[in-house]
A and B are shown apart, each in its own frame.
Chain A
Amino acid sequence: MLPDFLLLFIVLAPGLAALVAGLFQKYVTDNGAMIITTGTVGLAGILSVIQLFMFAFGGHAPDAVLTAAPADGGHGGGPVHAVHHVITLFTWIDVGQFQADWAIRVDALSIVMMAVITGVSGLVHLYSWGYMSEDPHRARFFSYLSLFTFMMLMLVTADNFIQLFFGWEGVGLASYLLIGFWYHNKAPNDAAIKAFVTNRVGDFGLALGIMAVFVVFGSVEFEPVLNAIKENASVTPLALAEAAPVRELVIPFLAYDVPALELIGVLLFIGAMGKSAQFFLHVWLPDAMEGPTPVSALIHAATMVTAGVYLVCLMSPIYEYAPVAAGMVTLIGAVTALYAATVGLAQNDIKRVIAYSTCSQLGYMFFAAGIGAYQAAMFHLFTHAFFKALLFLGAGSVIHGMHHEQDMRRMGGVAKFMPYTYAAMMIGTIAIIGLGLPHTQLGFAGFFSKDAILETAFAAGENGVTFGQLAFWFGILAALLTSFYSWRLIYMTFHGPREDSIPPEVHEVDSHADDHLAQDEHGHQHDHHEDPHESPLVMLVPLGLLSLGAIFAGLIFYGSFVGHHQADFWAGAIYTTGDNHLLEEKYNVPEWVFWAPLMVTITGFLIATFTYLFNRGFGRRIAESGGPLHSLFANKWYFDEIYNATFVRGTHWLGGFLWKTGDKRIIDGLGPDGITSLVQRSSKRLSAMHTGYLYHYAFVIIGAALVFGAVIFWRVGGAG
């Protein structure tokens, strides 16, 4: 690990840079803001990447904190503490047992995440010099980018749940601000709110999960909580139940008695579902593409959306002893992997294809974590960051070169205008489909990580892990679809003749009219007949560096992440039980399992090649024939429509009902207004009686006397 002052620099400097660029933009100017933020984050990136290499290959002598991290996890219930280093800054919250510090905690997981975050962020900063060169609000943009980087670093270096939550919601804020960066338009604003609110739904679960952690363990700090699970320590849940060893502890939640670890596992995972756009809570991610493309690459592909995966891996001790919660992670992950891939088949917006691809790949990571192969999940997170950032930045380069065209139906033949971008996109595509030769070291980054996931999933299925088999088959099927839609993207965009004849009305995404307005404001002349141009060097350099990662990251780090050195590398940061040997068993799966991913990948490639390259227009004809399956995929399985009809409309209606009927009619009606009008009405009636005519009064008096007399007479008579 790096010395303290460098760790502090990596985490805090981007935050400071964001402050300077944001608050003093008048004084530092756009260029100043760009230099400050890019320089800081770039330096942090270099340091973090060095740290990762040092950690993976320089050896980290097990220090005092490390008791054991055996390769087979053979200690079972024994204490296996993570190698970690904590710099405590100052106390944040100190109320009774509720103790949370501002701290920087570095372990193997954070080292990986720090390298991914600052590395990709540095490149995205640089890339944005070119991409955002015509935007009038560059200082604000770079300030937000650095703010995001800072928040994400706070998330992965937290030593307690509360700081994690700070980073978690902080990246949500940065994401909200960046999706809605072009705030004068409707679509980005809608998308930004949708992202924030959907994430809040997830955070509802995460917050309850953190409360449950506190109540069960009497602490919100990672070390005591995770160690208690590893040691199966006896805990006394505050006011909820009797003391018991934590793995057997049952606590009441709502109307049920549930195992404490299952409850915490499920609640935390709901948070992860929101942040990582998993099935049911995925709806915000495609819309988030309204943000500038560098943002999509950094936040909505490489880093923020992987925070959920990070959380599940960090909480590996919980999921190891919570089979139901882990089963839920596997199921949701597997379903998302397949679901998002089907939707990706039928999208025409280049960014949305990649967005659904991200969603699908996150699904792979989750089901890997769910079956217990956390290392494989982290490995895919790591390699995915390279090739997905590469694909997004490549797509951004195309969009930039095509004068802000995003509809692939209006592209085609771009390769000859943008050879470098084309090369980068090819590398990204080969990496994401996971091309590589089994049993050899020949393959792109995605090959190593995706195959590790599929092999462990198969092994898990053989072991009877919940949903393991399903995850394997969904994964294989999704790999087929991934290959198809990835090549479809390449062919539609880069090959064939240029197709700019389709009038804008055909655009299925209604937001484009707004977009054009926006870009026109930015000084773009919106002319589709202008030839595409290759992007400037400042955009191509990040593409080149990411390409290197997309090619070699898997090969270089396979041994450390999931290979024979994995136990040394993770050094206890990921915990597995004594029965979990998935990483060894993945070498012993049947021969066909090694070859299956390659086979489906080639199949997908061939189908795409025949339908989109050799028979160009075949795919479009299928789309236009509009079968039910195509409509289902193209409309994202109607999730938006269903949510609109239920949650959005429902909330709207309920709010109105409670206001107009609840507050006005019932509460005010019976309360103050009711009393007022009652008083007024009775006083009116009283005054109406005061007519002033003597005979009226006389009549009343006589009448009353008669009635009283009658009553008295009757009572007396009754007595007598």
Chain B
Amino acid sequence: MGNFPILTAVTFLPLAGAVLIMLVRAMTGSQESDVASGNKALTAGLIFSVATFLASLVMLASFDIGAPGYQLVEEVSWFANVQYKLGVDGLSLLLILLTTLLTPLSLIASFGSVKERLTEYTIAFLVLETFMIGVFCALDMVLFYVFFEAGLIPMFIIIGVWGGADRIYASYKFFLYTLLGSLFMLAAVVFMYLQAGTSDIAQLETFAFAPEVQTWLWLAFFASFAVKLPMWPVHTWLPDAHVQAPTAGSVILAGILLKMGGYGFLRFSLPMFPDASELFQPFMFVLSVVAIVYASLVAFRQTDMKKLIAYSSVAHMGFVTLGIFSFTEVGVQGAIFQMISHGLISGALFLIVGVVYDRMHTREIAAYGGLVHRMPVYAAMFMLFSMANVGLPGTSGFVGEILTMTGAFQASTWAAAGAALGVIFSAVYMLTLYRRTVFGQITNPDLEGIKDVDLKEIITLAPLIIGTILLGIAPNIVFNITRESSLRALQMITGG
């Protein structure tokens, strides 16, 4: 590839698409309510996001698996000592791939499902994609912060404009929480820059902050990442955001935005503040286990399908923090794997809910029942993802859970035992949901004529089915890529 800036290309290709769509729209004049032009815009957006996916495959091909440190680095001076610096390691590589995979899938899912302002909708998604990719490959703290915060805006708009009835409340809650966390992070970023004289992430990883300073910096970053992940007790924005977001928004939210929290802990908290991380390990374990058990119990009582899956996400992200803060290779590898796996499974589950929502326009569990009689293919796919969500071995859900718990067991048997309780509850809420919606007799007459999944829905779900099973049977594909990143994240801790 020579010196071709592949990361810049992957990052900004979607944004270029968005700009192009805007220009075309400006030139063709005002046809806002025109569905045909909206569909054209969506198609164009899809083409750009698929192109981004292909570009990210090129990135994967140019990546040297197992080589130490960051690769494909691009560096340009920006202002002061701040660099425009991009680069990837195994961890960011996979999260970028997840982003470039889920974005086109959510755009496909939007065909026919979103009817208003399709052009703006497409633009919002493309802009969001650029920011998400940017977060994962930024190697400069300031650049990272810019992407991290900028990503808030398109998501805020997606929920606020294309969301459900209570979208304003949900989007403000989302904004309020994430912004609050970000302010602390901004202060920490400025402070670190002043102290270390650089905002280069690779250099900061080896910069030794004084232990008492680390504590405050760790807390500031924690505020931001804990909200994003989200951890208990700052999780309540997530169910509301999910319920109100359009299907594609939920897919991206659960699939990728939540992962920024886990990514942040691995990229910043562990390597830069190792002493503080060790100090806060018990604290993180408590929050993780509470998240797992608490969210699973709450999920059990939900009457709204999306809310249930949102709470299930909170529980599953608890395994991520549990694994990261076990400070073991097994735990960290498991946590990274859990992030990828959860991206596929929760994305798929939101698509699954979207399928029946598009037909029935309700997410109430009680409105369904007996779907298997009319939608056998749907029922089979829903079963697969339900089982993946409860962590059945053979699906990707299992690998992340068992590894994070095993890692935690080495650090605290209490944490492992608590998390294992969550594995029981996940079966309770997921099987209950499945049984109430899919099994039983059809009692709601509106369901009599409901159609099984169509080609568009199969196309969106098929890659996720393949991914869930493939990673369940051969997770080593992931582990080989992320091994080096995991060990590096732990270097400061196990070494110091």
Enumerate chain A interface residues (CB-CB to B < 8 A).
90-98, 102, 162, 165-166, 168-170, 173, 176, 180, 183-186, 189, 192-193, 196-197, 200-201, 203-204, 207-208, 210-212, 214-215, 238-240, 252-254, 651-652, 654-656, 658-659, 662-663, 667-668, 671-672, 675
Q: List 23 A-B contacts (CB under 8 A).
A: A95-B333, A95-B403, A162-B402, A173-B392, A183-B438, A192-B435, A193-B432, A197-B427, A197-B428, A197-B431, A207-B405, A207-B423, A211-B405, A214-B406, A238-B410, A239-B328, A254-B417, A652-B301, A655-B300, A655-B301, A659-B298, A663-B298, A667-B236
A655 proximity list for chain B (CB < 8 A): 297-301
Q: Mark B280-300, 1 if CB is under 8 A from A, else 0.
A: 000000000000001001111
Please report the C-alpha to C-alpha distance between residue A196 and residue B423 in the assembled complex, in whole angstroms.
12
Please report the C-alpha to C-alpha distance between residue A655 and residue B293 in the assembled complex, in whole angstroms.
10
Please report the C-alpha to C-alpha distance between residue A186 and residue B435 in the assembled complex, in whole angstroms.
10
Please report the C-alpha to C-alpha distance between residue A176 and residue B420 in the assembled complex, in whole angstroms.
21
* B334 contacts chain A at the CB level, 8 A cutoff: yes
A675 proximity list for chain B (CB < 8 A): 176
Chain A: CB-nearest residue to B390:
A200
Asked whether, in the complex, the Cβ of B333 is within 8 Å of the Cβ of A668, the reply is: no
Chain B: CB-nearest residue to A206:
B420
* B345 contacts chain A at the CB level, 8 A cutoff: no
Asked whether, in the complex, the Cβ of A189 is within 8 Å of the Cβ of B393, the reply is: no
Question: What is the distance, in angstroms, from B70's C-beta to the closest C-beta of chain A?
Answer: 22
* B25 contacts chain A at the CB level, 8 A cutoff: no
B173 proximity list for chain A (CB < 8 A): 672
Partner of A239, one of B237, B299, B410, B473: B410
Question: What is the distance, in angstroms, from A283's C-beta to the closest C-beta of chain B?
Answer: 15
Please report the C-alpha to C-alpha distance between residue A251 and residue B199 in the assembled complex, in whole angstroms.
44
Enumerate chain B interface residues (CB-CB to A < 8 A).
172-173, 176-177, 233-234, 236-237, 294, 297-302, 328-330, 333-334, 370, 372-373, 387, 392-394, 398-399, 402-403, 405-406, 409-411, 413-414, 416-417, 420-421, 423-425, 427-428, 431-432, 435, 438-441, 473-476, 479, 483
* Extra 14 A-B pairs, beta carbons < 8 Å, given A95-B329, A173-B387, A207-B405: A95-B479, A96-B330, A97-B330, A98-B330, A166-B393, A166-B398, A169-B392, A186-B440, A200-B423, A208-B417, A210-B402, A239-B328, A655-B299, A655-B301
Evaluate whether A93 and B435 lie within 8 angstroms (CB atoms) in the complex, with A173-B387, A655-B298, A672-B237 already known: no
Please report the C-alpha to C-alpha distance between residue A215 and residue B373 in the assembled complex, in whole angstroms.
47
Partner of A671, one of B236, B333, B405, B414: B236
Evaluate whether A207 and B420 lie within 8 angstroms (CB atoms) in the complex, with A96-B330, A173-B392, A655-B300 already known: yes
Question: What is the distance, in angstroms, from A29's C-beta to the closest C-beta of chain B?
Answer: 15
What is the interface of chain A mostly: helix, strand, loop, or mixed?
Answer: helix
Asked whether, in the complex, the Cβ of B176 is within 8 Å of the Cβ of A207, the reply is: no
B233 proximity list for chain A (CB < 8 A): 667, 671
Asked whether, in the complex, the Cβ of B409 is within 8 Å of the Cβ of A211, the reply is: yes
B297 proximity list for chain A (CB < 8 A): 651, 654-655, 658-659
Asked whether, in the complex, the Cβ of B334 is within 8 Å of the Cβ of A651, the reply is: no
Q: Please give me the 8 A-B residue pairs with the lowest Cβ-Cβ distance, nearest first.
A: A166-B393, A655-B301, A211-B409, A96-B329, A655-B297, A183-B439, A655-B300, A659-B298
Question: What is the distance, in angstroms, from A210's C-beta to the closest C-beta of chain B?
Answer: 8
A176 proximity list for chain B (CB < 8 A): 431
Please report the C-alpha to C-alpha distance between residue A170 and residue B402 in the assembled complex, in whole angstroms.
15
A207 proximity list for chain B (CB < 8 A): 402, 405, 420, 423
| Highest count of chain A CB atoms <10 Å: which of B237, B300, B439 | B439
B298 proximity list for chain A (CB < 8 A): 655, 658-659, 662-663
Evaluate whether A94 and B417 lie within 8 angstroms (CB atoms) in the complex, with A180-B439, A183-B440 already known: no
Asked whether, in the complex, the Cβ of B393 is within 8 Å of the Cβ of A204, the reply is: no
B425 proximity list for chain A (CB < 8 A): 651
What is the interface of chain B mostly: helix, strand, loop, or mixed?
Answer: helix
Please report the C-alpha to C-alpha distance between residue A302 and residue B374 in the assembled complex, in whole angstroms.
35
Please report the C-alpha to C-alpha distance between residue A240 and residue B411 in the assembled complex, in whole angstroms.
8
Please report the C-alpha to C-alpha distance between residue A166 and residue B432 in the assembled complex, in whole angstroms.
22
Question: What is the distance, in angstroms, from B363's C-beta to the closest C-beta of chain A?
Answer: 17
Please report the C-alpha to C-alpha distance between residue A166 and residue B394 in the assembled complex, in whole angstroms.
7
Asked whether, in the complex, the Cβ of A208 is within 8 Å of the Cβ of B431, the reply is: no
Asked whether, in the complex, the Cβ of A193 is within 8 Å of the Cβ of B475, the reply is: no
Please report the C-alpha to C-alpha distance between residue A663 and residue B439 in the assembled complex, in whole angstroms.
30
Asked whether, in the complex, the Cβ of B417 is within 8 Å of the Cβ of A189, the reply is: no
Question: What is the distance, in angstroms, from B142's C-beta to the closest C-beta of chain A?
Answer: 29
Question: What is the distance, in angstroms, from A636's C-beta to the closest C-beta of chain B?
Answer: 22
Chain A: CB-nearest residue to B421:
A204
B411 proximity list for chain A (CB < 8 A): 239
Chain B: CB-nearest residue to A199:
B427
Partner of A672, one of B236, B372, B424: B236
Evaluate whether A90 and B410 lie within 8 angstroms (CB atoms) in the complex, with A95-B334, A204-B423 already known: no
Please report the C-alpha to C-alpha distance between residue A59 and residue B64 in the assembled complex, in whole angstroms.
53
Asked whether, in the complex, the Cβ of A170 is within 8 Å of the Cβ of B394, the reply is: yes
Please report the C-alpha to C-alpha distance between residue A675 and residue B330 in the assembled complex, in whole angstroms.
41
| Highest count of chain B CB atoms <10 Å: which of A97, A654, A672 | A672
A102 proximity list for chain B (CB < 8 A): 473
B474 proximity list for chain A (CB < 8 A): 90-92
Please report the C-alpha to C-alpha distance between residue A453 and residue B387 in the assembled complex, in whole angstroms.
39
Chain B: CB-nearest residue to A161:
B402
Question: What is the distance, in angstroms, from A181's C-beta to the closest C-beta of chain B?
Answer: 11
B440 proximity list for chain A (CB < 8 A): 183-186, 189
B439 proximity list for chain A (CB < 8 A): 180, 183-184, 189
Asked whether, in the complex, the Cβ of A162 is within 8 Å of the Cβ of B427, the reply is: no
Chain A: CB-nearest residue to B372:
A183
Please report the C-alpha to C-alpha distance between residue A94 and residue B403 in the assembled complex, in whole angstroms.
11
B234 proximity list for chain A (CB < 8 A): 671
Asked whether, in the complex, the Cβ of A170 is within 8 Å of the Cβ of B393, the reply is: yes
Question: What is the distance, in angstroms, from B147's C-beta to the closest C-beta of chain A?
Answer: 25
Please report the C-alpha to C-alpha distance between residue A95 and residue B403 in the assembled complex, in whole angstroms.
9
A651 proximity list for chain B (CB < 8 A): 297, 300, 425, 428
Partner of B409, one of A173, A212, A658: A212
Please report the C-alpha to C-alpha distance between residue A180 and residue B434 in the assembled complex, in whole angstroms.
12
Asked whether, in the complex, the Cβ of A91 is within 8 Å of the Cβ of B413, the reply is: no
A652 proximity list for chain B (CB < 8 A): 300-301
Please report the C-alpha to C-alpha distance between residue A200 and residue B424 in the assembled complex, in whole angstroms.
5
Question: What is the distance, in angstroms, from A501's C-beta to the closest C-beta of chain B?
Answer: 31
Question: What is the distance, in angstroms, from A412's C-beta to the closest C-beta of chain B?
Answer: 34
A93 proximity list for chain B (CB < 8 A): 399, 403, 475-476, 479
Please report the C-alpha to C-alpha distance between residue A239 and residue B409 in the assembled complex, in whole angstroms.
10
A169 proximity list for chain B (CB < 8 A): 392-393, 398
Asked whether, in the complex, the Cβ of A165 is within 8 Å of the Cβ of B476, the reply is: no
Question: What is the distance, in angstroms, from B484's C-beta to the closest C-beta of chain A?
Answer: 13
Chain A: CB-nearest residue to B408:
A211
Evaluate whether A200 and B403 lie within 8 angstroms (CB atoms) in the complex, with A173-B387, A212-B409 already known: no
Evaluate whether A658 and B476 lie within 8 angstroms (CB atoms) in the complex, with A200-B427, A208-B417, A672-B177 already known: no
Asked whether, in the complex, the Cβ of B300 is within 8 Å of the Cβ of A215, the reply is: no
A193 proximity list for chain B (CB < 8 A): 428, 431-432, 435
Partner of B370, one of A184, A215, A239, A254: A184
